[in-house]
């Protein structure tokens, strides 16, 4: 039987209650274009739309994240200088946002079509298609043992996914050309990337696919009872200027991610008449107010509203006509052992505070985004103004508003993404240390005893999924692996 047929024949068994989605098993639960973003029979949240098989075929393979290999040697500098840290974080953002040429010219009248690198990366749907292509090739014994997927098998499934369209009979040539013809400008082209929230660079998705057995073993173990595992590490406190001890091998992965692993999480907001974008004032005065107004600082109340056009904010249009604005983008890159954490948010006042040091080489609309970054739980810079006192006073003021002293907790929080009480005072790495344990953000933020300082303090000595939540919450790859495993179980 050809490779493809087995899942196709079995697929209908799994489709209870979702009419008209014949290829859901192969596309991994993604709705086809006309059902995207709010189709009636299978409602999708407004901020989710699949990277469907046609989009992937037009985009081609995901572009690699080109890591800066020198950063591991500069760890101490990044720990002790906010200035160096921010400069490196902007450079990371530039690599993630860099335009990547697509295999075919798509935009009518334009030359080579391009997308920002991260929009070519794998989404959960790609991981699902690739996994479900490769996994049935294992023998029954191998599946029972959760044996590793041979590299050649994964390579083949990966390549197949880049151009799998021909294997989807519902994508007739006529329908394909109508889809291409509808890509009539930059916004529709950007829409190919979809509004899926989380995207994985090739090195990140490969490690996750390789790790399916470990992810499933973790899911089955008592790992999800994480309260017991959370405890302050033994020994004297770590000097914030020296960094953390090397992270132990993660239980829930074959091994830690490699330096070219990067994962992003996007926040898209519906654009259109009567749909203004909330916006935030992150100047020193406003931040100080927000961070001290309550014992549980939050971003719940925006400071103003804006209505930016596509030249000011990255905007896309989905095939169903709905437009979305990119309000924010989280970026984690594995150039350091405990990752580099960066995040971008849109601002109507883009050149002050957290945007003051943005490199001039970032073109519109990216010159409307601000950034913060963290590389550790505790601050190793003894300058409250982060070295910006002379040339960027508004940035220096804003950094000072979040500074808790040498050895105090770091700060980095994105107004558009970090929801919930206490989350305006978080620092990325502190919450993510619990990834792989099954703990959820709400629990982590709410329990000040187990997870002090709004979750910012180091309380673990293991990082079960190398700081990546997607293995067990959010994209919940464990659930996708498990569903596949059960499907093929005798
Ligand atoms: C209070 C907890 C918390 C904080 C703080 C937090 N995150 Fe997350 N993050 C999560 C959870 C939970 C998920 C998975 C669910 C989802 O996708 O929304 C996640 C998902 C992600 C992902 C997708 C990969 C993954 O781990 O699943 C990235 C990238 C990310 N966060 C980056 C950041 C950055 C950068 C910051 C700081 C600016 C940050 N996060 C702050 C809890 C947190």
List CB contacts of 129: < 8 A, sequence separation 6 or more. Answer: 26, 27, 28, 53, 56, 157, 161, 164
CB 331 within 8 A of CB 199: no
82 lines ligand 1 (CB under 6 A): no
pLDDT at residue 81, rounded to an integer: 98
Expressed in angstroms and rounded, the spacing between residue 399 Cα and the centre of ligand 1 is 22
Give the whole-number percent of the chain exceeding pLDDT 90: 76
pLDDT at residue 233, rounded to an integer: 54
| Cα separations in angstroms, 57 against 120, 167, 182, 198, 242 | 11, 11, 16, 19, 46
* Atom 14, ligand 1: residue with shortest CA distance: 474
Triad 339, 345, 346: Cα angle to 5°: 160
pLDDT at residue 234, rounded to an integer: 53
Q: Which atom of ligand 1 is nearest to the CA of 420?
A: 1
Copy the structure tokens of residue 389: 């006192």
CB 475 within 8 A of CB 486: no
Query: Is the confidence at residue 401, as pLDDT, over 50?
Result: yes
CB 332 within 8 A of CB 272: no
pLDDT tens digits, 384-400: 999 999 999 999 999 99
469 lines ligand 1 (CB under 6 A): yes
Classify burial at 31, counting beta carbons within 10 Å of its beta carbon; exposed 0-12, middle 13-18, buried 19 or more. buried
423 lines ligand 1 (CB under 6 A): yes
Expressed in angstroms and rounded, the spacing between residue 468 Cα and the centre of ligand 1 is 8
Expressed in angstroms and rounded, the spacing between residue 470 Cα and the centre of ligand 1 is 9
- Of 126-135, 215-224, 264-273, 400-409, the poorest mean pLDDT is in 215-224
Q: Choose which residue among 332, 415, 424 to substitute to test ligand 1 binding: the one with the highest number of ligand atoms within 8 A of its C-beta.
A: 332
pLDDT tens digits, 372-386: 999 999 999 999 999
Q: Which atom of ligand 1 is nearest to the CA of 475?
A: 17
- Beta carbons within 10 angstroms of residue 378's beta carbon: 24
* Atom 43, ligand 1: residue with shortest CA distance: 431
pLDDT tens digits, 268-322: 999 998 899 999 999 999 999 999 999 999 999 999 999 999 999 999 999 889 9
Copy the structure tokens of residue 282: 């992150």
CB 41 within 8 A of CB 19: yes
265 lines ligand 1 (CB under 6 A): yes
- Better-scored residue on pLDDT, 474 or 225: 474
Query: Is the confidence at residue 419, as pLDDT, over 90?
Result: yes
List CB contacts of 127: < 8 A, sequence separation 6 or more. Answer: 28, 200, 205, 208, 209, 475, 477, 480
Whole-angstrom distance, CA of residue 148 vs CA of residue 194: 31
* Atom 13, ligand 1: residue with shortest CA distance: 469
96 lines ligand 1 (CB under 6 A): no
pLDDT at residue 47, rounded to an integer: 34
Query: Is the confidence at residue 477, as pLDDT, over 60?
Result: yes
pLDDT tens digits, 199-253: 999 999 999 999 999 999 999 885 544 444 555 555 556 789 998 889 999 999 9
- Of 25-34, 340-349, 461-470, the poorest mean pLDDT is in 25-34
Whole-angstrom distance, CA of residue 318 vs CA of residue 195: 8
Query: Is the confidence at residue 439, as pLDDT, over 60?
Result: yes
pLDDT tens digits, 19-74: 222 233 433 333 333 333 323 332 222 234 456 899 999 999 999 999 999 999 99
pLDDT at residue 109, rounded to an integer: 63
Query: Is the confidence at residue 336, as pLDDT, over 70?
Result: yes
């Amino acid at each position: 039987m050809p490779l493809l047929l087995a899942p196709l024949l079995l697929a209908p068994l799994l489709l209870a209650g979702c009419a008209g989605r014949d290829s859901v098993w192969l596309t991994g639960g993604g709705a086809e274009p006309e059902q995207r973003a709010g189709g009636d029979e299978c409602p999708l949240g407004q901020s989710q739309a699949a990277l469907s098989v046609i989009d992937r075929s037009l985009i081609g393979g995901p572009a690699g994240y080109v890591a800066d290999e020198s950063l591991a040697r500069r760890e101490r500098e990044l720990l002790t200088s906010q200035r160096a840290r921010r400069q490196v974080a902007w450079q990371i953002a530039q690599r993630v946002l860099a335009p990547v040429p697509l295999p075919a010219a798509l935009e009518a009248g334009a030359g080579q079509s391009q997308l920002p690198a991260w929009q070519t990366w794998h989404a959960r749907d790609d991981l699902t298609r690739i996994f479900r292509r490769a996994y049935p090739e294992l023998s029954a014994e191998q599946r029972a043992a959760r044996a590793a997927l041979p590299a050649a098998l994964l390579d083949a499934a990966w390549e197949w996914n880049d151009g799998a369209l021909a294997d989807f009979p519902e994508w007739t040539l006529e329908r394909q050309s109508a889809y291409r013809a509808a890509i009539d400008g930059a916004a529709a082209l950007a829409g190919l990337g979809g509004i899926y929230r989380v995207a994985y660079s090739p090195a990140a998705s490969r490690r996750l696919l390789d790790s399916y057995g470990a992810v499933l073993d973790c899911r089955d173990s008592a790992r999800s009872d994480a309260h017991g595992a959370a405890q302050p590490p033994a020994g004297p406190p770590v000097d914030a200027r020296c960094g953390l001890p090397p992270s132990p091998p993660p239980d829930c992965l074959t091994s830690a991610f490699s330096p070219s692993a990067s994962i992003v999480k996007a926040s898209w907001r519906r654009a259109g008449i009567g749909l203004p974008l909330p916006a935030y004032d992150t100047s020193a005065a406003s931040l100080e107010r927000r961070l001290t107004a309550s014992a549980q600082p939050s971003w719940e109340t925006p400071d103003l509203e804006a209505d930016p056009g596509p030249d000011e904010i990255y905007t896309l249009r989905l095939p169903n006509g709905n437009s979305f604005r990119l309000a924010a983008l989280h970026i984690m890159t594995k150039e350091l052992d405990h990752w580099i954490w960066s995040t971008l948010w849109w601002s109507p006042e883009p050149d002050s505070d957290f945007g003051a040091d943005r490199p001039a080489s970032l073109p519109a609309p990216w010159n409307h985004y601000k950034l913060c970054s963290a590389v550790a739980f505790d601050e190793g810079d003894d300058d409250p103004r982060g070295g910006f006192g002379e040339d960027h006073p508004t940035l220096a003021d804003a950094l000072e508003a979040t500074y808790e002293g040498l050895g105090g907790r770091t700060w980095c929080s994105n107004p558009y993404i970090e929801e919930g009480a206490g989350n305006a005072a978080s620092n990325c790495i502190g919450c993510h240390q619990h990834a792989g344990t099954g703990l959820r953000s709400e629990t982590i933020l709410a329990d000040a005893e187990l997870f002090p300082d709004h979750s910012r303090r180091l309380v673990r000595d293991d990082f079960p999924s190398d700081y990546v939540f997607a293995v067990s919450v959010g994209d919940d790859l464990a659930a996708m692996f498990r569903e596949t495993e059960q499907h093929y179980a005798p």
